[in-house]
Chains A and B, each alone.
Chain A
Amino acid sequence: MIWLTWRQFRPQAVTGLALLAAAAALFLVTGSRMHDSYATALAGCAPMGACDGSTAAARALGAQLSQLQRSYELMFMLLQLLVIAVPAVIGIFWGAPLIGRELETGTHQLAWNQTVTRTRWLAVKLGVVGVAAIAATALLTWLLSWWAGPLDHLGGDRWAAMTFASRGTVPLGYAAFAFALGTTLGLLLRRTLPAMAITLAVFTAVQILMPALIRPHLLPSTTTTYPIDQATTSRFHDFQSTQTDFRFGLPVPKDAWLTSQPPVENSAGQVARVADHLDCLPTGATPQNCLTSATAFPGTTCTRRSATTPRATTGPCSGWRPDSSSPSPAHSSAPASGGSDADRTDPPRNARPRTSQVTRNIVRGARLCVSTSARP
């Protein structure tokens, strides 16, 4: 049975291998060139101990690295797209005909009347081609991860829709899904061509809907609120104002996915309007000075892991300092989300008590702020 499966799959496998080899060559040729430039640039700044751009020479190298990033941007995008598209191609050309074509041409009747049970027939077909589908995708994903290593390091956002879908085990899952989808549609429709078309349509829809609608909600999200004071604003960057409100670039916890970053609010939870804080303009002004005229500091909002929405709040919190043991100014967790999900995903385990410590601090801090603002 394995022989028949392989013999039937051979033309598709040969085509797939040829395309895979071509892709590998492309990855290796362009990748080694980029890795060289990257290594050269890094070698230049590392001895200075100044890859963070603290000296003029290091800044020049930083510019060089940004240039590297920019020049490979298009190719980076296309190669990510390739890894995302490969599962679809596998579903269409390997999955859909696997059983669909047998039913279409009636050859399943020939296969089913050899001395091989139908269970075995199906298991071997699914096993051989399914494993090939996942292996091909894995190889390509591995190539991309290697290729994009420097770019990911320079400014990659692993949560970006295309990056997430083209790294690690995610493409493997999509390959298994696309293969199963194509096979099932072929089986149900009993025709290869419609099965191929619908596989493409469904897979594309899933690739669009997953990151847009479902993935952000797979884990409950976390909201982190930062009071604006001397201690925290040094960690902010890019203080900006739009027509109506102010925005900060806020520190995002490691491995967190920033899903939204709302404008600065006052303690009542209302957006701090530019009109009320004209002394902050131009935005070069020191934010903690001009924004603290707002009335109060709000209580913290619910926080959950994995997806993070930092938000800055205004308030006369000068009397409050975060606990010295807290790693970040404010990272609180609502009681409701303290369930097993949050527990399981919290790395490392010994950090838990400290996190809850922070939670308590923040709540106390909030009370403190409110009481402070209540004074005339």
Chain B
Amino acid sequence: MTAILQAHALGKSYGRRQALADCTLELPPGHVIGLVGPNGAGKTTLLKIACGMLAPTTGQIEVLGEQPDGATSQLARVGYVAQDTPTYANLSVADHLTLGARMNPGWDAKLAQARIEQLGLQPRQKAGRLSGGQRAQLALTLAVAKRPELLILDEPVASLDPLARRDFLRHLMESVAEQGTSVILSSHLISDLERVCDYLVVLVSSRVRLAGEVDELLAQHHRIVCARRQESDLPAGLIVISAEHTDRQSTFVVRSEGELPAGDWSAEHLELEDLVLTYLERGAAPGAGAATRPTGAAR
């Protein structure tokens, strides 16, 4: 299986401001991929480049084996729901479905109709009168019903209340499960992603800090608590992600490719949220960056 997204040394700058720098990434197909990072990490820029809305200043990117250049062949294969899920305020729900049908050769009218009914949207209602959640659902319907191979969603739930958020993600999962679509979903809230993602990419300051399948990542990372010692005193094969020391004891978050070797410590698995936060903290620390090896690249 070829990667759905392959980026090499990808960079984008607006004048002097560097929005994305030296981003290298390879994402496997068939996953719901969560893209996590603090605000300003370059998530939106990366996703916009991926769907061909922006041209990168440096580096190469291939999405579904093609360069995203806004050509129709690529547009038909990639669905995109932009940040804040824009819809035409003056157009009705039915108008949006007509729009989708007229502008996409692969439009699945049945699916779109079914989704609108399931959501309880009135076809004659103007999109401008919909609630944030309904609007997001409408935008998702448009993106899903064109039957893309890859669906890219940029913070689709950021402005939704918890209930609408849960509904949206549930519908997203249903549509994706039916069609076997790959999904890239960005968020700065890990809790959103935890529920739906089986693959995770952590992006800090436009660099990939962590990438891998969620289950594997959880299995590989441990928090160990032991009597105070230096990092160098830990057995080889353990990669220290973070270290905290009190007078008597040390706490490490470590990563091990295989089984965690036995030792004079108590070890526990991390919650996904803690794991991500550890990487976010580490990425934000000064001097992090180049030394960090993007881990868990796709096989």
Contacts and interface: CB of A to CB of B under 8 A. Distances in A.
Interface of A: 1, 3-4, 7-8, 11, 105-107, 109-118
Nearest to B79: A113
B53 A112 contact: yes
B173 to A, nearest CB: 21
B89 to A, nearest CB: 7
Interface stretch (B11-19, B92-100, B191-199, B283-291): B92-100
A3 B102 contact: yes
Given A3-B98, A115-B103, A110 B86 contact: yes
Contacts of A3: 98-99, 102
28 contacts: A1-B102, A1-B103, A3-B102, A7-B91, A8-B90, A105-B86, A105-B89, A107-B86, A107-B87, A109-B53, A109-B82, A109-B86, A110-B86, A110-B87, A110-B139, A110-B142, A111-B103, A113-B53, A113-B78, A113-B80, A113-B82, A114-B75, A114-B142, A115-B104, A116-B75, A116-B103, A117-B71, A117-B75
A113 B86 CA distance: 12
A103 to B, nearest CB: 11
Interface residues of B, number: 32
The listed residue with most B CB atoms (<10 A of its CB), out of A3, A7, A105, A115, is A115
B70 interface: yes
B84 interface: yes
B31 to A, nearest CB: 21
Interface of B: 51, 53, 70-72, 75-76, 78-80, 82-84, 86-91, 95, 98-100, 102-106, 139, 142-143, 146
Contacts of B78: 113
Closest 9 CB pairs of A and B: A114-B103, A109-B82, A106-B86, A113-B80, A115-B76, A115-B104, A3-B102, A107-B86, A115-B75
Nearest to B91: A7
Contact of A107 (B79, B88, B104, B143): B88
The listed residue with most A CB atoms (<10 A of its CB), out of B71, B78, B87, B102, is B102
B70 A4 contact: no
Contacts of B89: 105
A113 B76 CA distance: 8
B259 to A, nearest CB: 45
A117 B86 contact: no
A255 B166 CA distance: 75
- Chain A interface helix/strand/loop/mixed: helix
Given A4-B103, A8-B90, A113 B71 contact: no
Nearest to B77: A115
B80 to A, nearest CB: 4
A118 B52 CA distance: 10
A308 B145 CA distance: 68
Given A7-B95, A8-B91, A109-B53, 18 more contacts: A4-B103, A7-B91, A7-B99, A8-B90, A106-B84, A107-B88, A109-B80, A110-B82, A110-B88, A112-B53, A114-B99, A114-B146, A115-B72, A116-B72, A116-B103, A117-B71, A117-B75, A118-B70
A11 B90 contact: yes
Nearest to B105: A115
A114 B100 contact: yes
A108 to B, nearest CB: 8
Nearest to B154: A109
B202 to A, nearest CB: 25
Contacts of A106: 82-84, 86
A206 B72 CA distance: 41
A112 B68 CA distance: 13
Contacts of A115: 72, 75-76, 103-106, 146
A327 to B, nearest CB: 63
Contacts of B106: 115
Contacts of B104: 114-115
B104 to A, nearest CB: 5
B143 A113 contact: yes
A301 to B, nearest CB: 56
B51 A113 contact: yes
A114 B142 CA distance: 9
